[in-house]
Chain A
Amino acid sequence: MILRADHVAGGAFIAFGVLVFAISGDLPFGRLSAPSAGMMPKLVTGLMMLLAGLVIIGAAGSREFAEIEWSDGGHAALLVVITAAAVAMYQPLGFLITMTLLVFALLVVVERRNVWHAAAYSIGLTLFAYWLFGKALKSPLERGLLWF
């Protein structure tokens, strides 16, 4: 049997549904005349698994799993790792340091741009965003270590 994209997608949703049911044990379903907190999640999870099953049944018309293009995977992974690092640092380090580092890292690590150009751009951009959100729109930004 050829493994197709819809086999994998449908399988993933069914596995997710099983997981949801497994962690829904303490949610009461209630009765039809008095539905409780668990009714909607369990009904919707069941529906989702049913539809995922239908996707698997109709998978013959989908692409082969091996044909899916993953050439952008490296780019995506780098972006996720750098953004995740920025999210983790955002509250401790604050807006100015984190955002400067985020833009700088994206330009240097992902885009292989000149370090000095990247530094100038990231500092300029962060200062502009700081002015726009923090000063012009008076939106409270994370201060972090620097306390400004």
Chain B
Amino acid sequence: METYDSLLLGFSVALRPDVLWYAFLGCLVGTLVGMLPGIGPLAGISILLPLTFGLDATKAIVMLAGIYYGSQYGGSTTSILLRIPGEAASVMTCIDGNAMARKGRAGAALCIAAVGSFIAGTFGVIVLTLVAPPLATFALRFGPPEYAALLVLGLIFLAYMSTTSLVRTLLMAAFGLLLGTIGIDVMTGHFRYSFNIAELGDGIGIVPVAVGLFGLGELLATPSRQVTSEVMRPKLRELWPNRQEWRDAAMPIARGSALGFLIGIIPGSAHIISSFMSYALEKRISKHPEEFGKGAVAGVAGPESANNAASTGAFVPMLALGIPTGPVTAVLIAALLIHGVPPGPTLVNDHPNVFWGFVASMYVGNLMLLALNLPLVGVFVNLLRVPYAYLYPLIIMFCVIGVYEVNHSIVDVWIMLIMGVVGYGLKKFDLDPAPLVLGLVIAPLFEMSLRQSLIMSNGNWTIFFQRPIAAVLLAICAALLMLAAWTALRKRRDWRSKLAAAEAGENT
């Protein structure tokens, strides 16, 4: 009953015309961000973060979250019509979505993707409504040792779920943690690695790093000659799937929604992993696995539902624990902090308008996306025809403005440029930059928790094993490390290596 009343409060916030307008704007921009190859949700949110500075926290988070889950919808359009994933989570949709399009069923594929995304997104929000508040209450029992253990678990989980090796992922996370130590040490006042640059006293911001690595870095590695703009254009009357296609899509949507949400709450690039897992599951249980790769409806419905449910699931630890499960939620946390609203266990009680307004806006946002994505698909397709050579100068301009406007600091723009070059280099050496961003974000909280724990225990490391919650979390870390070592020793080609192959463009 309490949840019901709180949700009513949320709807009273989310249905205000001004909040609705920003939810719509977020969904629209998210759809475009998802469609355009080269700008993922992370770069999109980071670049557009300064646009929210004049807004209150509720409108800001509603708009930015709209960009995130809107991008999951938009990514499917590019995958189906161009066989290019507009964003990484749509990689699996390329295979059967584009095959359906080649058979003249592009409209049906787009419709199934949109309806599947809507159902999964709505399912995710319902579960989020039920799960996040009790989890936040439980998290109130967490002290510094529990937080330190939870953050270690987050990093180990991310490394375990990663498609690159565990060691490489942890290497990038350690690099991110190191970058996160730059600036004034809040406990002693020491300047660390700031080289007499006043702006570095506040540390390296997440926005310049994220925009550099994922925005600029991507553009540096993508010369315009490599980008195609031949697009199929579905007609509106072809959008409705036939009865058999609906029947084939129903169960994969249900399975994808449940699977996606579960994977979403686990740290890692959940929306990418969930779409792969859903595709693999559908192929395994299908009566006609030979149809996969040739236009199987389940190959579109499952992964598209899974990635949407996962992006909603990722909000659970973000809102309830204040812990990011990936770089996108890390930027969203930074956005909330900029607006003076710390996410975490106290969010539900201290800022009920923000929390419940945000949750309610996602119900509305999913409806908006369905309304946007189906009738307007023809309009969006025209955008894909803009030559990339004219598109990327615009993106670079937005990167510079976006980063500069956060703090009005030219140092931040230089950091973005340096990070762009670093991102380009990491790509060449097959190093994933996502753990770097995650490490950077959690560094201050991790350092504070670790040092507070040691001070509490008078320098006794065993404090992490004496407290039950922390001990359980660290035991899970140990189990994951052993599992990873076991897989490496047996040199098994598990789902992570298959996902890596799929991301590289090989058929699974």
Residues in A lying within 8 Å of B, measured CB to CB: 5-6, 8-9, 13, 20, 23-24, 27-28, 31-41, 44-45, 47-48, 51-52, 54-55, 58, 62-63, 68-70, 72, 75-76, 79-80, 83-84, 86-87, 90-91, 95, 99, 102-103, 106-107, 111, 113, 121-122, 125-126, 129, 133, 137-142
Partner of B400, one of A34, A90, A137: A90
Does B320 sit within 8 A of A, measured CB to CB?
A: no
* Inter-chain contact A44/B178, CB cutoff 8 Å: yes
Contacts of A103 in B (CB 8 A): 393-394, 397
* Inter-chain contact B185/A55, CB cutoff 8 Å: no
* Inter-chain contact B188/A37, CB cutoff 8 Å: yes
* Inter-chain contact A83/B454, CB cutoff 8 Å: no
B residues 153-202 touching A (CB-CB < 8 Å): 165, 167-168, 170-171, 174-175, 177-178, 181, 185, 187-188, 190, 192-193
Question: How does the 8 Å CB contact mask read for B408-431 relative to A, with 1 for contact and 0 for none?
Answer: 101001100100110010001111
* Inter-chain contact A102/B400, CB cutoff 8 Å: yes
A27-B190, A90-B413 are known contacts. Are A48 and B175 too (CB-CB below 8 A)? yes
Contacts of A137 in B (CB 8 A): 51, 54
Does B294 sit within 8 A of A, measured CB to CB?
A: no
- Smallest CB-CB separation from A98: which chain B residue? B400
* Inter-chain contact B397/A31, CB cutoff 8 Å: no
Min CB gap A86→B, angstroms: 7
* 12 A-B interface contacts by CB (under 8 A): A35-B451, A40-B450, A41-B181, A41-B193, A54-B167, A63-B430, A72-B221, A83-B396, A87-B417, A111-B389, A113-B389, A121-B390
Partner of A102, one of B177, B221, B396: B396
* Inter-chain contact B219/A79, CB cutoff 8 Å: yes
Contacts of A51 in B (CB 8 A): 167, 170-171, 174
In the complex the two chains form, what is the Cα distance from A44 to B71 in whole Å?
A: 34
* Inter-chain contact B389/A107, CB cutoff 8 Å: yes
* Inter-chain contact A72/B223, CB cutoff 8 Å: yes
**20 more A-B contacts (CB under 8 A) besides A48-B174, A79-B216?**
A31-B459, A32-B461, A34-B455, A37-B188, A37-B190, A40-B450, A41-B193, A44-B177, A45-B178, A58-B167, A63-B430, A75-B223, A83-B216, A83-B396, A90-B400, A90-B410, A102-B397, A107-B393, A111-B389, A139-B405
Contacts of B118 in A (CB 8 A): none
In the complex the two chains form, what is the Cα distance from A45 to B177 in whole Å?
A: 9
Contacts of B392 in A (CB 8 A): 106
**Chain A facing B: main interface SS:** helix
Contacts of B390 in A (CB 8 A): 107, 121
Does B229 sit within 8 A of A, measured CB to CB?
A: no
A9-B429, A55-B167, A58-B167 are known contacts. Are A80 and B220 too (CB-CB below 8 A)? yes
Does B486 sit within 8 A of A, measured CB to CB?
A: no
Min CB gap A74→B, angstroms: 8
Contacts of B400 in A (CB 8 A): 83, 86-87, 90, 99, 102
* Inter-chain contact B397/A129, CB cutoff 8 Å: yes
In the complex the two chains form, what is the Cα distance from A62 to B424 in whole Å?
A: 18
In the complex the two chains form, what is the Cα distance from A114 to B127 in whole Å?
A: 54
Min CB gap A63→B, angstroms: 8
* Inter-chain contact B175/A35, CB cutoff 8 Å: no
Does B50 sit within 8 A of A, measured CB to CB?
A: yes
Does B502 sit within 8 A of A, measured CB to CB?
A: no
* Inter-chain contact B53/A125, CB cutoff 8 Å: no
Question: How does the 8 Å CB contact mask read for B374-415 relative to A, with 1 for contact and 0 for none?
Answer: 000000000000000110111011101100110010100110
* Inter-chain contact A83/B455, CB cutoff 8 Å: no
Contacts of B401 in A (CB 8 A): 95, 99, 129, 133, 141
In the complex the two chains form, what is the Cα distance from A140 to B414 in whole Å?
A: 19
A37-B187, A44-B181, A107-B390 are known contacts. Are A90 and B404 too (CB-CB below 8 A)? yes
Question: How does the 8 Å CB contact mask read for B39-56 relative to A, with 1 for contact and 0 for none?
Answer: 000000000001101100
In the complex the two chains form, what is the Cα distance from A127 to B342 in whole Å?
A: 36
Contacts of A86 in B (CB 8 A): 400
* Inter-chain contact B454/A35, CB cutoff 8 Å: yes
Contacts of A13 in B (CB 8 A): 171, 175
Contacts of A35 in B (CB 8 A): 450-451, 454-455
Contacts of B171 in A (CB 8 A): 13, 48, 51-52, 55
Contacts of B51 in A (CB 8 A): 133, 137, 139
In the complex the two chains form, what is the Cα distance from A44 to B50 in whole Å?
A: 31
Contacts of B394 in A (CB 8 A): 103, 125
B residues 209-250 touching A (CB-CB < 8 Å): 216, 219-224, 226
* Inter-chain contact B458/A111, CB cutoff 8 Å: no
Partner of A125, one of B54, B393, B450: B393
* Inter-chain contact B393/A68, CB cutoff 8 Å: no
- Smallest CB-CB separation from A51: which chain B residue? B171
In the complex the two chains form, what is the Cα distance from A5 to B401 in whole Å?
A: 35
* Inter-chain contact A27/B192, CB cutoff 8 Å: yes
- Smallest CB-CB separation from A125: which chain B residue? B394
Partner of A79, one of B177, B396, B404: B396
In the complex the two chains form, what is the Cα distance from A110 to B193 in whole Å?
A: 36
- Smallest CB-CB separation from B401: which chain A residue? A133
In the complex the two chains form, what is the Cα distance from A90 to B409 in whole Å?
A: 11
Contacts of A106 in B (CB 8 A): 392-393, 396
